[in-house]
Amino acid sequence: MVAAAVAASDARAWEPGDPHLDTAPRTAAEADRIARVIAAPTDFTMPEPFEENPGGAATVRARTTADAFSQPSANIDFAHELDFKVGNGLFRKLWVSSPASTLASDGLGPLYNARGCQNCHFKDGRGHPPEGTEDTAVSMFLRVSIPADADPLMADVAEYVATAPDPVYGGQLQDFGTPGHPAEYRLDVRYDEVPVILNGGEVVTLRKPTYRAADLGYGPLHEAAMLSPRVAPQMIGLGLLEAIPAAEILALADPEDADGDGISGRANVVWSREYERPMLGRFGLKAGMPTIREQSAAAFSGDMGLSTALYPAHSGDCSAAQADCRAAPHGAAVGEAEVTEEALDLVTFYSRNLAVPARRDLDDPEVLRGKEVFHDSGCASCHRPKFVTHRLPDRPEQSFQLIWPHTDMLLHDMGPGLADNRPEGRATGREWRTAPLWGVGLTARVSGGENYLHDGRARTLLEAVLWHGGEGQAARDAVVAMPAPDRAALIRYLESL
């Protein structure tokens, strides 16, 4: 733990770069052309060129079924489509506990949140919080940590590292256990209603959640424990986000708000286990992971208790205080991990190539008006519409694509209403990474319902907007004050993404 913390402390002196990518440099002419292409629009009477394809050449037709987020990149070749399908099989696979006759599928737990990746990312889309005490189709858990200065082992590095795992419960709470291992807790969520009155008299009721770790199975949490809820996000377009040049994301950062616009985006800088160096955080709700591969390996470990080369503990998130958990049988052959390098690569490839569906109704007059409202209200200050990805000789699906993710990939203070009060890397307890908006209008179709924000509290897109505070407060207030037809047009625009 201390060694990793010392390594993470080096992030203060990090050198920006993209070591996870084999890139070809851009020419000066290309850079100039890209700058013109990604500039903010000035004409809202018609769609912009290529706006219909938010994932560039990887964009797929928007399907009318729940499989809308489960298609491979449109520009994938036949051989790699087979890799995608094998990765899909691994993503959908249900793991079992050891020992078992299914040697390729055992090793689950001993403590876990789900038996398979798709159990949280329903149809590769968003999960949802519990809707009642008997609801078992849930993809939500609580992360847990304590201040680093509360852990004696972290005393030497507390200046650099904000948090440490709970000494008993580790980094997240698992609500299932294999036979003989009690679950760590039961997630209890209670909601209070908060009315918001909009211009014109419409009243929108927000759900303000309170979270509790109930029925703790291994004694009390540390007295300084900080809890943060997480609902599984959608999976589309991850490879394209991974291919955005780090320098272009960092160019959008303005931590001191030097331009005075009230937006102070910051980069999260995290330690890469794979590359053994600081890297730009891109994935996770607080940008706590640098690559899809590391994000996948962390999920295998924390969510399912499965070892990989990057997270070699066969007992997953079990702490030293959970001796029985660490001593339980595992599913790895001698010297190997439960999830082999080949399997991790296939799941990574699958996750990298889940395609973004095409836009719908983008030339509808109300959608075009909503786009103008989106820009005029300041939403595009954080939800940046466009990027152009690196040239990537070995990743043709993501190479040199004009994409429209509607995110700047940076951390923003979202105010006290959305604060989890738990730091993660450089992210404070009030900061979250700007969520990509592509595909957001298909959420109900894919997930069977609408649950937005990091904990699924928002049941509609309008509720999600109304929860914005901090750097999003001005845009939120503009939405509250605008005429009802403009507000409706804004939502229609979001539904078209």
pLDDT over 90 (residue 129): no
Within its chain, how far is the Cα of 318 from the centroid?
23
Q: What string of DSSP letters covers 37-101?
A: HTSPP---SSPPTTTT-TTGGG-B---SSGGGG-PBPTT--HHHHHHHHHHHHHHHPPPBPSS-S
Domain ranges of the chain: 2-496
pLDDT band at 42 (very low <50, low <70, confident <90, very high): very high
Beta bridge partners of 412: 432
How many Cβ atoms from other residues are within 10 Å of residue 338's Cβ?
Answer: 26
Q: What string of DSSP letters covers 358-425?
A: PPSSTT-HHHHHHHHHHHHTTGGGTS---EEPPB-TT-TTTTT-EE-------EEE--TTT-----BT
What's the CA gap between 66 and 464, in Å, rounded? 22
Contacts of 333 (CB under 8 A, 6+ apart): none
Tens-digit pLDDT profile for residues 266-311: 999 999 999 999 999 999 999 999 999 999 999 999 999 999 999 9
pLDDT over 80 (residue 417): yes
Of 42-46, 127-131, 214-218, 268-272, the least confident: 127-131
pLDDT band at 163 (very low <50, low <70, confident <90, very high): confident
Q: What is the model's pTM?
A: 0.95
How many Cβ atoms from other residues are within 10 Å of residue 25's Cβ?
Answer: 8
pLDDT of residue 157: 52
Tens-digit pLDDT profile for residues 319-371: 999 999 999 999 998 789 999 999 999 999 999 999 999 999 999 999 999 99
What's the CA gap between 201 and 128, in Å, rounded? 30
pLDDT of residue 6: 44
What's the CA gap between 76 and 70, in Å, rounded? 14
What's the CA gap between 146 and 165, in Å, rounded? 6
What's the CA gap between 379 and 395, in Å, rounded? 31
